[in-house]
Structure formats: C-alpha cells, structure tokens
Structure 1
Amino acid sequence: MYQKILVAYDGSEGSTLALTKAVKLAQLTGATLEAIWVKSKLPHYPETVSEIEGEREAGEVFFNQLQNEMETYSRQLNCNIKLVALAGHTAKTILNHALEGYFDLIVLGHQGHSSLWGVSLGHTTDKVSENAHCSVLIVR
C-alpha cells in the first residue's frame, strides 16, 4: 500500500494528531516514516544583525524541542521516526521534499482559523492537498 510516508509536524495539536495517524499507518503497512518541520527563511526585515542571530537561535531551540518530542513519540509508539528541518515556504517545501524523496503519502493536520472559518482547511493543508503528486491524508 504505502512505502514512504511524510508527516508535517510543528508540535501543534493538529500535527500531533497527524503524527499519531501516520505512525499507525506506517505500522500497518510497513512503510518508513519521516516527519518534516519547515522553518521560514531569514531575515524577516530585521533592524540589527543581532535580530537575525536571535531568530536563528530561536529556530534551533524550537527544532531541538521538536526532536525531543519525536524521540519520545518514537519510544512510546515503538516506531522509528526521522525528523528533518528545512527552510522555505511551508507548502512548497513539503511538496518539493515529498516529490524529491519519492513519498507516496503526505499526512497533515487540519487547522481551523476561527469559529467562522473553523471548518475550512488551513492555508498549508489546502495548498499541499491541491498540488501534491501523491495521496494526502488530512487528519481532523
């Protein structure tokens, strides 16, 4: 069925639900599982060089936190999960990585915006599901 599964993970509740579902699918199908976190590119129009360094350091701290979470999930769920961090536009980066890595399933969490738009797909989820070369599972 599936041989390579890519799950978008940023530590949010939606991405954690997507990760849990992706792990179950990987275990059922014998697929390999990789998680991706996409950080935005620097600079964000900083006023000083130290602001760039501060953003870079904050990104590293956050990625280390995600790695620790991934190690915990790997142990708890008895599944090997590789976490990669790439910089760029979130949807484009996920799509490019999935294509280049020959993934046959992308798993994403659904993310509502507000009570009015809560039933809509999040921007990244919408863009990935519209443009993916492979199947996409959106987890609610």
Structure 2
Amino acid sequence: MYDKILVAFDGSETSRHALAEALRLARLSGAQLYVANVIDILAPFGMGLSYVPADLIAMYREDARKLLEAARDDAKAADVHCETELLQLQSVTDSVADCLNRCAARVGAQLVVLGTHGRRGVRRALLGSVAEEFVRETDCPVLLVRGVA
C-alpha cells in the first residue's frame, strides 16, 4: 500500500483529524509517518511587514515544536514509526502548499494527508485553501480529511 505518508499538522481541529487518519493508515500499512508543521510568519502580518521580531519567530517555532512533539507521542502510542519536521516559508512569494510539496518530494511521500475545512463561496475566496492549492500542484496522491462541520 504505502511506505511513506506525509501529514501536515498545525494543531487545528481539522489537522488533528488528518493526523488520526494518517496514523490509522500508517499502522494498517506499516508505513513510516512524516509529520510536518509549516511556520508562516508573514501571513498574520501581510505583505507590508518588513521586520519580524526574533522573539516572535522563536515563539512560533516553540509552539510548532510542541505540536510536533504531541504528534510524535500520538504516533508512538499507535506504534507507528514517525519523523517530524518543522518547515518555514523561504520567501514572501512562497506558500504553505509549495513548502509541503517540496517536503513531500524530498521524503518520497507516497501519500499526503491534509485536513480541509470544506469552506465554500466567499469564505473560500477570502481565506483560500492550502489543501486546494496543494492538490492542484502536487504529483503525489492526496487524502483530504474533512474537519467536523
């Protein structure tokens, strides 16, 4: 089935559902699980920000490390071999989807599991969708896991 599964995990409810499904699949297939968290420091501030305080970056990284540690603990409890990775956007033109795509290619993921909010209409147009962008750009099979509505 799958030997390497990548799941994006940001601690949101939808990503928790995606992690649970990725753990289930990894356990069933004996796959190695890769859990990635992408730090997007620019998104909360917009494109006009020219300086991000180092303390803020450190805070984002520490929060992400805690999330990854919790995911690793979940994998251990499920008896799934797991590696975690903290990723960061490389430029203002980079996107979370692009970053995840690079990670999937680098680790040789055979499946990527993403949580999706299932937004529609104006909310989707305004907020965008990492999952939608990722699906449009990747060569890898993707499993979208819908959060609780």
The TM-score with structure 2 as length reference comes to 0.78
Deviation at 1:30, TM superposition (A): 1.2
Q: Which residue of 2 aligns with 1:71?
A: 72
Q: Which residue of 2 aligns with 1:97?
A: 103
Q: Which residue of 2 aligns with 1:15?
A: 15
1:30-81 deviation digits (Å, cap 9, x = unpaired): 1110010011256x6256xxx5112212112212321331233123322232
Deviation at 1:3, TM superposition (A): 1.2
Q: Would you say 1:134 and 2:135 are equivalent positions?
A: no
Written as runs of structure 1 = structure 2, the 5 A alignment for 1:1-80 is: 1-40=1-40, 45=49, 52-80=53-81
> Number of residue pairs matched?
134
Residues 131, 115 of structure 1: CA spacing in aligned structure 2 closer, same or farther, 3 A cutoff?
closer
8 Å CA contact retained: 1:8, 1:94 = yes
8 Å CA contact retained: 1:111, 1:122 = no
8 Å CA contact retained: 2:36, 2:85 = yes
Residues 40, 28 of structure 1: CA spacing in aligned structure 2 closer, same or farther, 3 A cutoff?
same
Q: Which residue of 2 aligns with 1:124?
A: 130
Whole-angstrom CA distance in 2 between matches of 1:76 and 1:3 = 19
The TM-score with structure 1 as length reference comes to 0.83
Whole-angstrom CA distance in 2 between matches of 1:133 and 1:114 = 25
What SS is found at the alignment partner of 1:10? Answer: coil
8 Å CA contact retained: 2:5, 2:33 = yes
What SS is found at the alignment partner of 1:133? Answer: coil
Deviation at 1:114, TM superposition (A): 7.5
Whole-angstrom CA distance in 2 between matches of 1:86 and 1:60 = 9
8 Å CA contact retained: 1:110, 1:122 = no
Q: CA RMSD in A?
A: 2.4
Structure 1 gap segments, 5+ residues each:
none
Amino acid at match of 1:63: A
Deviation at 1:132, TM superposition (A): 1.1
Amino acid at match of 1:62: D
What SS is found at the alignment partner of 1:6? Answer: strand
Deviation at 1:113, TM superposition (A): 4.5
